[in-house]
Structure 1
């Protein structure tokens, strides 16, 4: 049975991992025969990108959690498109779109939790988990455990990890040697990459400390791919610590897959509970060993000693030890990279994620269709 799905992105004004997740999921569902509409802000990145992809959009804006201006519009969208499933992805979209879906009698109302934080109050926990949404999805078991600890019943929430389009991501457009030359990585050096926003929680400072510990023990170049509020701070700190000559600041790149392909090791030294790091999956998709931290959802993806290595967060000596172990063993890098590729294909691909979400949609819809409330709504 073909179902009509509304993916809600009305609170997103720019681009990021969750926005890409919504677009990729919508595209996959459309290819499987679902009638998918994305509720999004007019003139913003999600709408523009959705139109480029040929996805249906409907204009709606929620700027604050209690911004009711487009409540009526959201209800009209649900009626116009005869929506069977409303899927919400962000905290600002939980209340107004949630009530719109509830008022219109949408049988399946899904809340995906992409961040590692608990709900702020007991009332909020009850409202989201028992009233507004029929099911909750978390992007890692770590996030699921956080919601259970704040009062969500275990049988109301399940984990579906983010998925990477492995085949598409692995199709690089510039060969690794060319990228290494462009970045200035010497041929005989091991390139250690860190990818993402340069901000305190991403662990760039810990990587600087690890580089200082390792010193000249191995021929290493550390490549920082990305930009962010702490970029100048990290550059200054690298100079103060005497490791600036070992670091290459590559800046923001649209072709992050080309950049990762030029690395020998990918590091994700996050100091916070990274919910489900896309970079971990991207490194694995390009057959790179990944060094991550024992925090958040990262240990659910990296098998320590098989697909990569894990270190405690903010532990520079442990991070240095892991990097050094890989820097000194090309065979280990290759074997871990191959194992990582096999693991991401089997467990964390975009198609695997979509399979699980599709199964969830069908299961919840079948359950709702058999309920007395749903039959009453159909008759009204």
Structure 2
């Protein structure tokens, strides 16, 4: 006999970020299960992002904000304890540092289990930021489960905070996204023409904000080698950002103006992926679990990506895509050329990537794993 689960989902604030926007598909997926989730922000409402609030509202998700501005606020624990007690929740699931630092002791005071999720790769911190993260790690380690969304995330936290022995309750649980719109299909000729700048050559899409850790210059520097093998190939840079001027200068300096196409930020990414022959992500550092690779995988794209952060969690080298060393223009060119040269390899890897996206990285799969974890944390046998 199964039982329903009532979960309080806590987050620092409804800011605009990866963890915050992942709440919507998680909550929506829970509606088809016996798990009910209430979403509450620790912080005041005036800290919230209008865009994030719009995403949650569009999904029909009601939210509350507790108005706690700092960890040492004397009302913080009493207010959270009251929230847990009044909601009669079975479990508390905290996302991000402030939420988990407060959630674990508050849940313990009410006699409820807590689960915590880290959404980033640990990096060197100083001052108060280092203090806040260390407190969160200590709290999460005392919860029933400390979840990390990639193996790279868990390993980075272990190296920083538990170099001698990884705690037994530290587990990897991949996030999921809504992949319902990211299905394989025929390319729209209009979209493909836009990406290829009107040419008929192969199209390689790089979907990323123009930020330093995305490694976009690596792809541009690799492009002459790709062009040598595939003279009509086009690299479509799909995104935008403050580095655009610098990237355009690099393209011009290398004489690649006819084969590197800046297509801007797109709102039709499923069609973009379907129109691509290859999707490439050459990140150099900082990646945890990049959503664009999950989307591209679900759409059955052939992928070439750098072996960094949580990317190998998504792209299984040789099975669902090809990996190359971060920062290696030669490695990128070799991987892209191998895929462009072999239609059957692209088809086979794309099909495997699409299947893996559905079984491992969909919101539905994520919710199923969370439900099992919740029951175990509550002491209910599988």
- Separation in 2, partners of 1:68, 1:51: 31
Task: Report the alpha carbon displacement of residue 269 of structure 1 after superposing the two structures with TM.
Answer: 0.8
Comparing 301-310 with 201-210, greater Cα deviation is found at: 301-310
1:31 aligns with 2:32: yes
The number of equivalent residue pairs is 364
Indicate how the Cα distance of structure 1 residues 329 and 61 shifts in structure 2: closer, same or farther if over 3 A, else same.
farther
Closer/same/farther in 2, CA of residues 140 and 27 from structure 1, 3 Å limit: same
Q: Secondary structure at the match of 2:276?
A: coil
> Is this contact kept in 1: 2:97–2:136, CA < 8 A?
no
Q: 1:92 to 1:221 in 2, by over 3 A?
A: farther
Q: 1:129 aligns with which of 140, 148, 155?
A: 140
- Which of the numbers 182, 189, 203 marks the counterpart of 2:201? 189
Counterpart position of 1:283: 296
Does residue 243 of structure 2 align to residue 233 of structure 1? no
The Cα of 1:148 is off from its aligned counterpart by: 2.6
Counterpart in the other structure of 1:213: 225
Partner of 2:149: 139
Range 188-197 or range 36-45, more displaced: 36-45
State the partner residue of 2:112: 107
Unaligned 5+ segments in structure 1 are 370-380
Aligned pair partner of 1:8 in 10, 14, 29: 10
Cα deviations by residue, 1:88-123 (Å, 9 ceiling, x for unpaired): 2223433344444444x2522111111110684695
TM superposition score normalised by structure 2: 0.85
Check the 8 A contact 1:199/1:229 in 2, yes or no: yes
Distance (whole Å) between structure 2 residues aligned to residue 153 and residue 84 of structure 1 = 27
Over 3 Å counting, the alpha-carbon distance change for 1:21 and 1:106 in structure 2 is farther
Secondary structure in 1 aligned to 2:140? helix
Preserved contact between residue 184 and residue 274 of structure 2 (Cα < 8 Å): no
- 1:300–1:171 CA distance, 2 compared to 1 (3 A): closer
Whole-angstrom CA distance in 2 between matches of 1:362 and 1:51: 29
Residue pair 1:7, 1:26 contacting (<8 A) in 2 also: no
Task: Give, in whole Å, the separation in 1 of the partners of 2:317 and 2:100.
Answer: 36
User: Which residue number corresponds to residue 56 of structure 1?
Assistant: 62
Q: Does residue 1:117 correspond to 2:122, yes or no?
A: yes
From 284, 294, 298, the equivalent of 1:271 is: 284
* Aligned CA distance change for structure 1 residues 188 and 126 (closer, same or farther; 3 Å): closer
Q: CA deviation at 1:49?
A: 2.5
In 2, the alpha carbon distance for the partners of 1:247 and 1:88 equals 43
Query: Corresponding residue for 2:356?
Result: 343
- Secondary structure of the structure 2 residue equivalent to 1:366: coil
The offset of 1:185, in angstroms, is: 3.6
Q: Structure 2: which 5+ runs fail to align?
A: none
**Partner SS for 2:181:** helix
Cα offset for 1:125? 6.5
> Is the counterpart of residue 178 in structure 1 residue 190 in structure 2?
yes
Please say if 1:77 is aligned against 2:92: no
Deviation at 1:329, TM superposition (A): 2.3
Aligned residue among 365, 368, 373 for 1:352: 365
> Structure 1 residues 160 and 307 mapped into 2: Cα distance closer, same or farther (>3 Å)?
same
Q: 2: distance between equivalents of 1:231 and 1:108? A: 47
- Supply the RMSD in Å over aligned alpha carbons: 2.7
Alignment CA distance shift 1:358-1:263 (3 Å)? same
Deviation at 1:4, TM superposition (A): 1.8
Q: Single out whichever of 303-312 and 142-151 deviates more from structure 2.
A: 142-151
Q: Deviations over 1:289-324 (max 9, x none)?
A: 111111122122222222211100001111111111
Alignment TM-score, normalising by the size of structure 1: 0.86
State the alpha-carbon separation in 2 of the partners of residues 69 and 347 from structure 1.
Answer: 40
Is the CA contact 1:309–1:322 (under 8 Å) kept in the aligned structure 2? Answer: yes
